[in-house]
Structure 1
Amino acid sequence: MKLSNLALAICLVLTTAAQAQTKRTDLSLSYSFIQGKLKDAAQQISTLIAATPPDKFPKTFENGQQKFSNSSWWCSGFYPGTLLYLYEGTKNDTLLTLATDKLKPLAKEQFNKGTHDLGFMLFCSFGNALRLTGDSASYKDILLTGAESLASRYHDRQKAIKSWDWGSWEYAVIIDNMMNLEFLTQATKISKDKKYKDIAVQHANTTIKNHFRKDYSAYHVIDYNKETGAVSRKKNHQGAFDESAWSRGQGWALYGYTMMYRETGEKQFLKQAQHIASYILKHPQLPADLVPYWDFDKEKVPATSKMYKNKDLRDVSAAALYASALLELSQYTTGKEAKGYLGAAETLIKNLSGDPYLAQDGENGGYILKHSVGALPLDSEIDVPLTYADYYYVEALIRYQRLLAGKSIID
């Protein structure tokens, strides 16, 4: 099927599907709204599809220029993962074909032992492909080899998976690493080898112990002593300053502990997710539309800082993370608390699905969402679209679609 026919095919599929759905009365967003946004996202991403070279992966669209990466970039799995989610939401086979074709240049990263981000790279892509197609012959071995590569970065002295090998860090562990643990828990389900899940649980426990302040905000980086395993430094590489609460980092933590509760049933992980959610949703600096500023402590950025002129930027990538995580967290809680999480997620989905955050058709380089911030202190990806913002936004739409259909939020 040609890309020019993609929108028509999606419309036909969605019209048929809509007739078979029964609206749940406890959800405030309609089936037609969610399906319309999935259709729009699939149409929008066709622009990015046309622009993306066969052996490259989208990063961002900046100053009117497309920015691509090689497969070894930590974000490489998000683009095929987004295509797979859009296939799931629209049932358009062209999107599945495009996604699986994109997995071919990504497959070699299963052997990459130099990164902690293999969950982002391989599970968001190959993991979704296996889930949606059931093609174990094509994807199982790649996933298990990748999980073994990720597990090689765990050391029992620190009881955590090492994040970075560069710079002056001894044994840096970043809060983002919580997101890669799902890859390990799923590897245990596939292989029946419990070592992968055991590593994930140990890492999550260590992170609870060392990464959080008394108010349940998270540091970005904990640097451990290479020899003793003791904490040597608590830093914030992408936040405003070391003691600030970087907004996307709080999202990694919220999503990660919600997921770890799902995978283990351990109450401490649920309680941690609830505490993090409370920190985010009750923070006085959270805007009314719930799309956060890039750092919750941005008001403390001094006027002399290079960050000051951009201190009021929003980070849509954090908001997309919050939306997806809060939808899931609402399923593991009850009463007023569950209703609050669900309502916040619905507010985020609705607000991200319109001005000023949703791109118009054909604009924004084909990315779905605008106004994300990669790393403001590093002058990197400032107020641009980001591939992972699109991924978690579409994931939130898919999760809501499943709730509307009366299904579990997770397969």
Structure 2
Amino acid sequence: MWKLAIDDAVQKTRDNIERFGRLFPHVSTDGKTYQLNPNDEWTDGFWSGLLWLSYEYSGDPALREAAVSTVRSFESRMEQNVALAHHDIGFLYSLSSVAQWFIEKDEAALALSVRAADKLLERWREKGAYIQAWGPLGDPEQGGRIIIDCLLNLPLLYWASEHTGDPKYKEIAIVHAEKSRRYLVRGDDSSYHTFHFNQETGEPIGGSTHQGYTNGSTWTRGQAWGIYGFALSYRYTKNPLFLETSKRLARYFIERLPEDSVAYWDFNVDVNDHTYRDSSASAIAACGWQELLEHLDASDPEVPYFRDALQRTMESLVQSYSTLNEPGAQGLLKHGSYHVRGNSSPDDYMIWGDYYYLEALLRMDTALRGYWYDR
């Protein structure tokens, strides 16, 4: 099953090179056709990552050429400082220039990746000791906000310390991860999407949501970011608290899955025949469980539990949510949800869903991994 799904995903990615040209896919709005942009969205690194994964798996030079072209686009984006005033620099550059460095040891890609890490450090707020998610310094609404998604941007900083020898990147990543663990993760192992601090004193104000159901609910994609993000922070730091936090979030996610093992868009939303799923949340969680399992001893009694959840979710994604039997489809994974309350692509293709779906498939069947750490 995995090989059939991988081959199908790689072929669709190859077909999309001609469809997309120099543009980048974001989400669909009709469940069929990707919205394209000229590399000015926070999601554009996922297309680059899809190309690099597909190239590594297939060895197809056309896929490499397309992937390298995206890195050139990201270099231009950095030079022109286009839409980089947010914390998602890691999503953009870990999957583009860092990926090229991992695969080809290209020195220009290395230099661009370090510049990206420096750009991410511009989000560090010394007074509050956190990486600000959105908005400029001092922004009255966004200035004191962290969000759980940032955990997947921290690997860029960990990596930068390893490759420059400068500890500042890792030190800041650790402080932010620890603050995320303390304030974004609730006592019952659920999570806030965002948390607010006083910008001048760093005093905690409270948690809220941006894309979840309510401030007190648990947005499933946020919970998935936490599973994978804390496991990756453990990989770089070996802090056992990060590993335990990943396990806590993973248990909560698994215990609340519906019968087909693919999450609804929020764990607290009322469920009926019209409630939206978020297949992208389950694809991210699957990658998180795979990362978590790599760090658990085989004798750990929870290993079979996590493996079973992974197997059930991946089988369901392939059999019921993928476009495996739809050869002309642009996307790989159906029924993703971007922003349900905002009525923004609540049941569509998500380019990050496609990326994590392929990453998870490759981890199931090959030695290939994503681009969050140097293999």
On whether the aligned pair clears a TM of 0.5, the verdict is yes
Match 1:59 to one of 22, 26, 36: 26
2-side partners of 1:400 and 1:326: how far apart? 11
TM superposition shift of 1:297: 0.3
Q: Distance in 2 between matches of 1:341 and 1:410?
A: 24
What does 1:10-409 align with in structure 2 at a 5 Å threshold? Answer: 33-54=1-22, 56-63=23-30, 64-110=32-78, 112=81, 114-135=85-106, 137-165=107-135, 168-283=141-256, 286-299=257-270, 310=274, 312-334=275-297, 335=299, 336-364=301-329, 366-402=330-366
Tell me the CA shift for residue 105 of structure 1.
1.4
Bigger Cα Rg: 1
Q: 1:34: Cα distance to partner?
A: 2.6
Distance 2:303 2:234 in 1: 15
Which range is displaced more, 150-159 or 347-356? Answer: 347-356
Asked if the contact 2:129/2:176 (under 8 Å) is kept, the reply is yes
Tell me by how many angstroms 1:106 deviates.
Answer: 1.6
Does the 8 Å contact 2:212/2:266 carry over to 1?
A: yes
Partners in 2 of 1:287 and 1:410 — Cα distance? Answer: 35
2:278 counterpart letter in structure 1 = D
* Matched-pair contact (CA < 8 Å) for 1:223–1:233: yes
Aligned equivalents of 2:310, 2:61: Cα separation in 1: 29
1:404–1:202 Cα change, 3 Å? closer
For the residues of structure 2 that align with 1:356 and 1:401, how far apart are their CA atoms? 19
How far apart are residue 403 of structure 1 and its match?
5.2
Partner amino acid for 1:160? Y
2:220 and 2:265 in contact (8 A); partners too: yes
C-alpha contact (below 8 Å) 1:110/1:143 kept by paired residues:
no
Q: Which amino acid aligns with 1:141?
A: A
Cα separation, 2, equivalents of 1:145 and 1:403: 29
* Offset at residue 69 of structure 1 (A): 2.1
TM-score between the two structures when normalised by the length of structure 1: 0.84
Inter-partner Cα distance in structure 1 for 2:293 and 2:310: 9
Shift in CA distance, 204/104, structure 1 to aligned 2, threshold 3 Å = same
- Write the distance in 1 (CA, Å) between the matches of 2:146 and 2:305: 32
**Alpha-carbon distance in structure 2 between the residues aligned to 1:34 and 1:356:** 14
Query: Cα–Cα, structure 1 residues 404 and 133, in superposed 2: closer, same or farther, change >3 Å?
Result: closer
Q: Which runs of 5+ in 2 are unaligned?
A: none
Answer whether contact 1:359 1:367 (CA < 8 A) is retained.
Answer: no
The 1:65–1:34 alpha-carbon spacing in structure 2 relative to 1, beyond 3 Å, is closer
- TM superposition score normalised by structure 2: 0.91
CA contact (8 A) 2:230 2:246 kept: yes
RMSD (Å) for aligned C-alpha atoms: 2.1
1:131-186 deviation digits (Å, cap 9, x = unpaired): 11122x22011000110010111122221100011772332111101110001000
Kept in 2: contact 1:220–1:237 (CA 8 A): yes
| Conserved 8 A contact 1:352-1:358 | no
